Structure 1
Amino acid sequence: MRINSLYLQLLLPFVIITGVHAQQITVDSAAAPVKKDTSYLRFFRGTKKYECSIASVVVPAAMLGYGIATFEYGPLRNLDHSTKNEIVEDNQTFHTKVDDYLRYAPALSVYALNAMGIHGAHNFRDRTIILGISTLLMSGTVGGVKTLSHRQRPDGSTFNSFPSGHTATAFMGAEFMRMEYKDVSPWYGVYGYAVATATGVLRMYNNRHWLSDVVAGAGLGILSTKAAYWVFPKMESIFTKKDGKNSMHPIAMPTYSPDTKSVGVSIVFFPGS
């Protein structure tokens, strides 16, 4: 049961952040009821009801939980192997490096759209800080879980398969794009999630990840961005002067790189406005 306790320790920050967030937004939603939206685009639209819904946190958490469950529940792990066998059997010679670049497309698209004059919810400074927080949460958690899980990749190359870092990066960016443009058009979110899904699928077709690696990576990426959007205004209020002007305050955050197996510290500044 040691592996379960380690996972609980890693997930605790997300549980605390999302739990407090859910408690706060439930009060807001009770004060301002919103007409029910039955369209599938409600998951990408900026309606207050959806943002206040517990489901916005439960779904990615369940995805992450599914991946963790494959370490204890045999039938789910068997699904990993059967899915891998079907993919490899039909695509034995398939290989591409597109997923190495596609994972960054959703996040970069946010900056490209702003450069074209299609502005999102935040200015350059604020969205960059939010993306930085998301990346630190995601990369740190992915690196730690990869080390602790020690799962062999389906191609047998290394023992850092779980969860998929490429997929986590892609879905982190997809949720980042959705949050920035949800009030402009839900189709931006649809695009981001479509690209992220393609990244996860390609990781399996390249025989680099199991199905559960991809599902868990997607959930972790989404949770990282949701946590960042909740943390950012709290951090900003701490480092904002009473007169409304931001002072130049550095924030040190630990980082971990699973590729180079190195640790470091990132310094984020809140410059004057």
Structure 2
Amino acid sequence: MRIGFLALLLCQGTLAQAQLNPDTVQPANIMVNQSKPDTFRVPPPIRYSRQQLFVPVGLVVSGILTNANGDDAIKMEIKEMRNVNMRDFSTKIDNYLQYSPVVIAYGLDALGVKSRNPVIERSLILAKGAVLNYVTVNALKRVTRQLRPDETTYNSWPSGHTANAFAAATFLSEEYKHRFKWMPYAAYGLASTVGALRIANNRHYISDVLAGAGFGYLSMKVAYWTHQYRWSKKHRKSYPVF
């Protein structure tokens, strides 16, 4: 169980660094208002770059490689560690925590902390990313038909809760990382916690969680890459000061 949690923490740190690293994310080109040094203008839209695929592809590949069967497989060893140390552990908080980054994003906006995109644009991006994530994850569940570690159903790989959490974390990070440099760490910390809880609840293997993290992250990134910003051209053209 501790190995699984450490792996998730590694995912969190890697994703957070990817969000802040200018080599993996297009520069924000933030323009400072000379008359108001404490404010900044809206960053430009997020554009695709090949380097941004490294993290999600790495997570998905890790999920595939650790999905091997056999008593000596990594996922089975972690399951055994969970059964020995946390056999009676059970919580439903992961059912709600998976959506917490979205609640935080709109909550900050309601408090007057403006996000990267206006409400219509970011809502369309969120909807597109959520639909893509749902279709991808559920299609793979139907194709792979992996038995869950608690042996209840055949829809274990990849983890839907983890995919939802990482998609939501990517949304929160992209909307607020230019205001708060710590936001990617907080967002992906929440998402990693969801993944760890899915393992602790005996609902998923580490392989399911790693793959779910990759698919969730990539789904929301694709939503940003492909968005056309047709609902706020004036906003995009003028880059108004917050």
TM over 0.5, yes or no? yes
Structure of greater relative contact order (alpha carbons < 8 Å, 6+ residues apart)? 2
4+ long deviations beyond 2 Å: 40-45, 47-50, 52-56, 68-71, 73-77
In 1, the alpha carbon distance for the partners of 2:152 and 2:202 equals: 10
- Matched with 1:18 is none
1:12-51 map, 5 Å = 42-45=17-20, 48-51=22-25
How many angstroms does 1:174 deviate by?
0.6
Q: Which amino acid aligns with 1:65?
A: V
Alignment of 1:136-147 (within 5 A): 136-147=131-142
Q: Is 1:62 matched up with 2:37?
A: no
Aligned to 2:191, what secondary structure does the other structure show?
helix
Percent identity for Structure 1 against Structure 2? 35
- Match of 2:79? 84
Aligned equivalent of 2:227: 232
Aligned equivalents of 1:70, 1:171: Cα separation in 2: 19
Partner of 2:96: 101
What is the CA-CA distance between 1:75 and the residue it aligns to? 7.6
Counterpart selection for 1:119 from 92, 103, 114:
114
Check the 8 A contact 2:66/2:74 in 1, yes or no.
Answer: no
Structure 1: gaps spanning 5 or more residues:
1-39, 246-273
153, 156, 161: which one pairs with 1:161? 156
Structure 2: 5+ residue runs without aligned partners? 1-14, 27-48, 235-242
TM-score normalised by length of structure 2 = 0.76
Residue 157 of structure 1 aligns to a residue in which SS?
coil
Aligned residue-pair number = 199
TM-score in terms of structure 1 length:
0.67
The answer to whether structure 1 residue 128 and structure 2 residue 123 are counterparts is yes
Match of residue 203 from structure 2: 208
* Residue in structure 1 matched with residue 240 of structure 2 by the alignment: none
RMSD, aligned α-carbons: 2.4
Q: CA deviation at 1:99?
A: 0.3
